[in-house]
Structure 1
């Protein structure tokens, strides 16, 4: 979310099934929200709807899943990409099926602070773009109601061939001056135990874990197609307007990926490690 890459919602959503699965696993571990307690009553004695923030909501395809679980909640997706927000607004903004409300706002997760009490702050595959995001945990926890939850998942595969090869290619003499560290931007993710300690130090009941999804991707050069939606965005943004350079870079990277991820009889296996954290604020 810094030196902001230009995002392509359509490309990102090409693998939406695989990308959604970790969020569903995260969602299943989030405890019930504090809505319904005396702390969530309105001045007139009524119950206010749950208030939920989705940091780095992207095109909104997982934000809407929050409305499936909490259908009367007021849910706001925050993102720094105008392209992603436009897609989210077009597809999902407005009243939900359960009478709740879903809206989207421009915001940088690196500087976002809760402007009101939240029952849940969630982030799906976004905080890896935010340097020093653990430094924001205290502010976000402060913005939760007692009993509220901070939950997130981030990729943990930045030493895997897909990312290591990208960084090495960007650092070759041919590309170094143009791309700098664009292929090595993913250094902000902690290990599960480190997240556990950070959040426990803030007084939260916390669980962290990791899962490696062995994804079977179909088609020709599917790993390249996958990273075009995520890790390659900074590179494609830096080379934007130079079609010849983009074609040459993608060709070199494609050849490296073909050796690292050879296709098999059922497709190409692409292991993808994810790191999860769910932290509940004390009542």
Structure 2
């Protein structure tokens, strides 16, 4: 985890909900049929729950639990709790992905844009697969854009002479996620059948300083938390960052194009050992 854990703001995160949900839908489209009647599903890092609710549409009889370590995110997510239209059930619970393990075999463990916040998350994969039901699936997607201007410029500014004493060690580095090839190697080493791919979305964002608005909901959160006790410094950093983002992502006549690479993995455990 970063030196300063991000304080999540569900409203800010949901400002780009449609764009953020699309990779989750693309991930689910590659998940095969699940074992169990009804299937047992866990969403690790469920955030405000809007994406978790999509699971009930795909598997209407499933028992689904969304897990997150942010009380504010969980409070927002609980609006989706209760019986689902197909006879299943959806609920939410607190958990930390660094230590969490399922307490029963799962038909599906899914994680959407969460594992990049978990240092060493690749070491958790064998345990999660081991605790899946035979024929169960582990599916996740993580941002693969840590070398993009949005993240690179943020790190450069944080490491500049003006900010390094305040922000050293706060931000994640470009090794926060693995390459697709590395994920494939780790997943197949567990005996799973694995499908790993990458996609670069070109989001067309609306509004002024749209890329800044996006990262305020995710990647910039550790900086905002680290400077929370000094609003003047926080505002100064944001303004400096705004300036370099405007140059890196110029607005067009119909919005601001924002390329965003993501890495996907779907690993299915054999039905028999």
Q: TM-score range by the shorter chain?
A: over 0.9
Counterpart in 2 of 1:62?
51
Instruction: Name the counterpart of 1:168.
Output: 156
Residue in structure 2 matching 1:86, options 69, 75, 85: 75
**How far is the alpha carbon of 1:187 from its aligned partner?**
2.6
Paired positions, count = 270
What does 1:136-175 align with in structure 2 at a 5 Å threshold?
136-175=124-163
Q: Which structure 2 residues correspond to residues 105-116 of structure 1 after superposition, within 5 A?
A: 105-116=93-104
Q: Secondary structure at the match of 1:270?
A: strand
Is the 2:146–2:173 Cα contact (8 Å) retained in structure 1?
Answer: no
Cα-Cα RMSD: 1.1
Q: Report 1 or 2 for greater relative contact order, CA contacts < 8 Å, sequence distance ≥ 6.
A: 2
Distance 1:79 1:186 in 2: 24
The normalised TM-score by structure 1 is: 0.93
Matched, 1:28 2:29: yes
Q: Quote how far apart the aligned CAs of 1:31 are.
A: 0.2
Distance 2:5 2:67 in 1: 15
Secondary structure class of the residue paired with 1:278 = strand
Unaligned runs of 5+ in 2: none
Distance 2:63 2:167 in 1: 41
Distance (whole Å) between structure 2 residues aligned to residue 13 and residue 187 of structure 1: 26
Task: State how far apart, in whole Å, the 2-side matches of 1:118 and 1:157 are.
Answer: 30
Tell me the alpha carbon deviations over residues 209-267 of structure 1, each in whole angstroms, 9 at most, x when there is no partner. 00000111111100000000000000011111322111111100000000000111111
Taking the aligned partners of 2:225 and 2:175, their CA distance within structure 1 comes to 19
Mind listing any 5+ residue stretches in structure 1 that lack a counterpart? 36-47
- Give the aligned partner of residue 262 of structure 1: 250
The equivalent position to 2:224 in structure 1, one of 232, 236, 240, is: 236
Residue 225 (1) aligns with residue 217 (2): no
For residue 5 of structure 1, what is the aligned residue in structure 2?
6
CA distance in 2, matches of 1:176, 1:92: 42
Alignment partners' CA distance in 1, 2:171 and 2:156: 8
Structure-2-length-normalised TM-score: 0.96
Distance 1:53 1:62 in 2: 12
Equivalent pair of 1:192/1:209 in contact (CA under 8 Å): yes
Aligned to 2:142, what secondary structure does the other structure show?
Answer: strand
1:253 matched to 2:241: yes
